[in-house]
Amino acid sequence: MLAAYAVQVEQSRGRRFPEPSHPYRNDFQRDRDRIIHARAFRRLEDKTQVFTRRYSDHFRNRLTHTIEVAQITRTVASALGLNVDLAEALALVHDLGHPPFGHAGEKALDAAVRPHGLSFDHNLHALRIVEDFEQRYAAFRGLNLTFEVREGIIKHSRDYDAAEHPELAEYLLDQRPPLEAQLIDLTDEIGYNTADLDDGYEAHLLTLEQVRAGVPIFERFFREVAQTYPKAPDKLQFNEALKGVFNRLAGDLITNTQVVLKQFGIETLSDIRLYKERLAAFSPEAEADRKQIKSFLYENLYYSPSLAGEKDDAERIVTALFNCWMENPSALPHYYQEKAAQGSLPRVVCDYIAGMTDHFIIEQYEKHCVGKKSSQE
């Protein structure tokens, strides 16, 4: 039984193009499956999360991160009585619009299109992927996802201003998204904060001493683990302590959101949509822990000198390839040349690059930029 404030699939606003119901899957389950079978979803396997494979094949990529966030989201949504099918679909699609090379690639791509009066936003790009770029069905373009999934793609992590984005007017920009969507940004943080500590330690970019000294919540759990398993290897003690951090954040998100809903008398989905702010949240204590972990990761991992070279390479490759095709659009594949002739060349080049995997963009860079430079020399 779902809570009264959960999204009921029977009350979905439906799809842009009506389809007959499926005999044994509801609409949100079908959306989840369409996302999993999308080409853009498969490409996440070769898109950087934080670490490239230069360090190890064991580290998270965009795809494995997405799967982990989906697991966390299912657990939290179920405990809150929410629609798990919708929440899972939103977790699986939440990173679909990310370009290659992680946040460094996104930063470079946004900078490249700014002089042309454009911007790059991975949430809006994800919406365009599922609405237009994926071509799997004869009856319509895109995946024809339900309104609730499309709304959650753009609203799960931020609010968009209707005056700045009139193209999003249908998505109730003056209202809050359902709790199923509100969870995603928070479960995403639980996933990558704990995973990045783990991968950073595995990569020897973070030491156990660093993490213990810089992340108080980790230190609290580590002390307990060291007393319980005094002879266990450091790595296993690290794992146990990190599990404690993970459970603390996920459990707090559940219990605090329940408290908030009760405190403000939230009973229906309409109450959630019309409330002045988002209601899914950590407690003040857990929020302080979350911010502290994130601050530690920025100071000690994300801006680590060991990763600086890869970030520089990512920005250089994205920028050079964008400029190369802007100067010589005839070097684009024929399909993208046709799209550029019908619309905006900068947007078409941006879209093409955003869809690439790390491997493919390096291949294209070497073909169109490095090869061109060598021939000129």
- pLDDT tens across 306-315, in order? 888 888 999 9
Residue 59: inside a domain: yes
Residue 4: inside a domain: no
What's the CATH code of the domain at 236? 1.10.3210.10
Using an 8 Å Cβ cutoff, are 68 and 250 in contact? Answer: no
State whether 302 and 340 are in the same domain: no
State whether 217 and 324 are in the same domain: no
State whether 317 and 297 are in the same domain: no
How far apart, in whole angstroms, are the C-alpha atoms of residue 161 and residue 133? 25
Q: Provide the 8-state DSSP code for 303.
A: T
Domain end residue (candidates: 276, 306, 336): 306
Give the pLDDT band of residue 374 (cuts 50, 70, 90).
very low
Give the count of alpha carbons within 13 A of 336, CB side only.
18
Residue 266: inside a domain: yes
Domain end residue (candidates: 275, 306, 337): 306
The pair phi, psi for residue 333, each rounded to 5°, is -55, 150
Residue 152 in tokens: 């959650």
Please state, for a pLDDT cut of 70, what percent of the chain lies above it.
96
State whether 327 and 294 are in the same domain: no
**DSSP result, 99-123:** -TTHHHHHHHHHHHHGGGT----HH
pLDDT in tens, 32-48: 999 999 999 999 999 98
Domain limits at 158? 9-306
State whether 113 and 248 are in the same domain: yes
How far apart, in whole angstroms, are the C-alpha atoms of residue 370 and residue 284? 51
Give me the mean pLDDT over the 128-154 stretch.
Answer: 96
State whether 292 and 359 are in the same domain: no
Residue 225: inside a domain: yes
State whether 161 and 262 are in the same domain: yes
Residue 2: inside a domain: no
Q: What is the pLDDT of residue 197?
A: 96
User: Which of 9, 184, 11, 178 is CA-nearest to residue 88?
Assistant: 184
Mean pLDDT for the chain overall? 94
State whether 133 and 231 are in the same domain: yes
**DSSP result, 138-205:** SSSSB---BHHHHHHHHHSS----TTT-GGGGGG-TTSPPPHHHHHHHHHHHHHHHHHHHHHHHHTTS
Residue 3: inside a domain: no
State whether 319 and 302 are in the same domain: no
Asked whether the whole model's pTM tops 0.85, one would answer: yes
- Name residues whose C-beta falls within 8 Å of residue 351's C-beta, 6 or more positions apart in sequence: 125, 128, 133
Query: Please, is 298 exposed, middle or buried when counting C-beta atoms within 10 Å of its C-beta (0-12, 13-18, 19+)?
Result: exposed
Using an 8 Å Cβ cutoff, are 148 and 13 in contact? Answer: yes
Residue 321: inside a domain: yes
State whether 254 and 314 are in the same domain: no
State whether 105 and 217 are in the same domain: yes
Domain end residue (candidates: 261, 290, 306): 306
Q: Quote the number of domains for the chain.
A: 2
State whether 325 and 295 are in the same domain: no
Residue 243: inside a domain: yes
Q: What is the pLDDT of residue 51?
A: 66
pLDDT in tens, 277-329: 999 999 999 999 999 999 999 999 988 888 888 889 999 999 999 999 999 99
Residue 14 in tokens: 């439906």
Q: What is the pLDDT of residue 371?
A: 65
How far apart, in whole angstroms, are the C-alpha atoms of residue 285 and residue 292? 11
How far apart, in whole angstroms, are the C-alpha atoms of residue 360 and residue 334? 17
How far apart, in whole angstroms, are the C-alpha atoms of residue 258 and residue 269? 14
- Name residues whose C-beta falls within 8 Å of residue 337's C-beta, 6 or more positions apart in sequence: 329, 330
How far apart, in whole angstroms, are the C-alpha atoms of residue 56 and residue 245? 24
Q: What is the pLDDT of residue 105?
A: 92
